[in-house]
Chain A
Amino acid sequence: MGNAVAIIGTGQTKHGRRQDLCYPELVRESVTAALEDAGITLQDIDGVVLGTMPSMMEGVSSTHFYFAEAMGAVRKPVLKVETCGSTGQSIGHCGFYWVASGMADLVLVVGSEKMSEGDGQATMTTVFEPFFQKTFAAGAPGVFTMQSMEWMYRFKIPEEKGREAAAQISMSNHDNAMDNPHAHIRMRVTMEEVMNARIITYPVRLLDVCPASDGACAVIFASERMAKKICKKPAWIKGIGFRGEEFFYGESDKSIWMSATEAAKEAYQQAGIQDPLKELDVAEIYNPFTYQEMIFYECFGFCPRGKAPDYVLKGTFRKEGQLPCCPSGGTLCTNPIGATGLIRLAEAALQVTGKAGARQVDGARLAMSHAMGGVDQFNGVTIVGAEM
């Protein structure tokens, strides 16, 4: 695992439609909040890591150049990591590696997106294989719907059961977001509203999918020495995992999803977790689509394959359930893509340090964060805990 590393501060913008400021100002809002939370200044930062969607998203290449001033990186070493939806986890891993190597005491990690400025689905289309697959692309809804249908078919999940469980997930996340002042979508939804919402790509409907959000998140990683010196309640990195699959869609089975399964396994192994459903107190997983969320539950070992709908219908993953999933409201209620995976980590850190305010899960000591990137290609996991 390298040397011990902790998160000593996090900051998020008010996510949503932020046309009140330009993109660099949005980034700076999160950095300022994180520095304040950690009680340090930019002078203390040894290095900066940034991540965003590919440059087609907002039309300016090399966002790590663009945000040099906004993220306080002038006259500092800078790294950019870009893995689409899993960017937030990748940049966290990068910050972790940097500090764990012993080469830095304090690293600032920033993830951001300003989806209102560009075309998200068109940008995602540029990620597809250009000669043979892009022609048939239907953005994220197309891919995630195909995957969800494949999963339900393989495990013989009746359409009605899948639909009801997905609606429960939508209701749970929307309820949770009501307690999160940073969340983009903050409105309760009823079962009826979810089931009758506008169809996106059948059976997926409007309330089954995430919004396009503007937002930024900043997280400060510290060495053991520094964390113990200046932070009352550090969130220790207990385990990380990351896996990528083949580029060509159709080569790997996305209903059992090797990358999600193996990334979690590696993180669990490092963290010494054997029964995640029992041992984890919170799971902030990447959940832009309700149906797909259930595939993640299975890949992460929260329930047997094909059984996620049953566990959902029992209330297992609601805030009052056995393993609260996304008490923040998750990606389903807030999705500034480059920031999203990092927001999951920030929320996990807030949970295990008792700083999650109204969305706090009582007694949380061990939390998982996760994000997925590309056309179901990459998965990253970071587990944080209150104990070193």
Chain B
Amino acid sequence: MSKDENRIVKGQVKVPYEMALGRTWSYFLDCLKEEKIMGKKCGKCSRVLVPPRSFCPRCFQDIEQWVEVSQEGVVETWVYVNMPFFAQELKIPFISAQIRLDGSNTGFTHQIAGIDLSDFDQVRKTVKLGGRVRAIWRSEKKGSILDIAYFEPVE
């Protein structure tokens, strides 16, 4: 029996992927490049979904109708993140938020920024549940969700 009974072996698995977006999400990202936020409206339940979906998750029907939604909305909830974890994309501290864009029926996940994030007590005075935020675009578009750089609080 080995003397070192709690011996550990380190390892890591790295696997590459190439994931198809489909036509609906490809068009959504193309519209982000033009600084437009597009949703899709279900012909049966009339909900406007953002990000759009090729089919309605509740009705299970194809959705054909595109609708442009507002770039402003209400903060449904948010969280201040100041803890690191593996392969995290955004730099801490950041604010993860769920925003109900005017004209849509679902919560849209993104980040709130454009304010000094270093002092949480100050952040709390500016970012509020039920408060309004507007999209700020990144100048160089890459065809990803971060073409909306962030949402900033509106006075």
Contact = CB atoms under 8 A, between A and B. Distances in A.
Contacts of A132: 25, 51, 109, 145
Contacts of A66: none
Interface of A: 19-20, 56, 59, 119, 121-122, 125, 130-139, 141-142, 145-147, 149-150, 153, 199-202, 246-251
3 closest residue pairs by CB, A with B: A250-B107, A122-B86, A150-B77
Contact of A250 (B13, B21, B106): B106
B83 A246 contact: no
B13 to A, nearest CB: 5
B146 A135 contact: yes
B27 to A, nearest CB: 13
A141 B109 CA distance: 16
B43 interface: no
Interface string B27-70: 00000000000000000000001010100011000000000000
Contact of B109 (A59, A246, A249): A249
B129 A20 contact: no
Given A146-B79, A200-B83, A19 B6 contact: yes
Given A135-B89, A135-B145, A59 B79 contact: no
Q: Majority SS of interface residues in chain B?
A: loop
B129 A251 contact: no
Contact of B98 (A20, A59, A130, A249): A249
Nearest to B28: A132
A56 B130 CA distance: 37
Nearest to B108: A250
A59 B13 contact: yes
Interface residues of B, number: 44
Nearest to B98: A250
Contacts of A135: 89-90, 144-146
30 contacts: A19-B8, A59-B11, A59-B13, A121-B86, A122-B87, A125-B85, A125-B87, A125-B88, A132-B25, A132-B109, A132-B145, A135-B89, A136-B96, A136-B109, A141-B79, A142-B79, A146-B77, A146-B96, A147-B77, A149-B77, A150-B129, A153-B130, A199-B82, A201-B83, A202-B120, A246-B57, A248-B51, A250-B109, A251-B106, A251-B107
B120 A136 contact: no
Nearest to A19: B6
A119 to B, nearest CB: 5
Contact of B96 (A131, A142, A199, A247): A142
Given A20-B6, A146-B98, A138 B83 contact: yes
Contacts of A122: 85-87
A153 B77 contact: yes
Contact of B129 (A133, A153, A200, A249): A153
A20 B79 CA distance: 37
Contacts of B116: none
Contacts of B108: 250
A321 to B, nearest CB: 30
A90 to B, nearest CB: 21
B7 to A, nearest CB: 9
Contacts of B94: 136
A128 to B, nearest CB: 9
A149 B79 CA distance: 8
Nearest to B121: A202
Given A20-B5, A121-B85, A136 B90 contact: yes
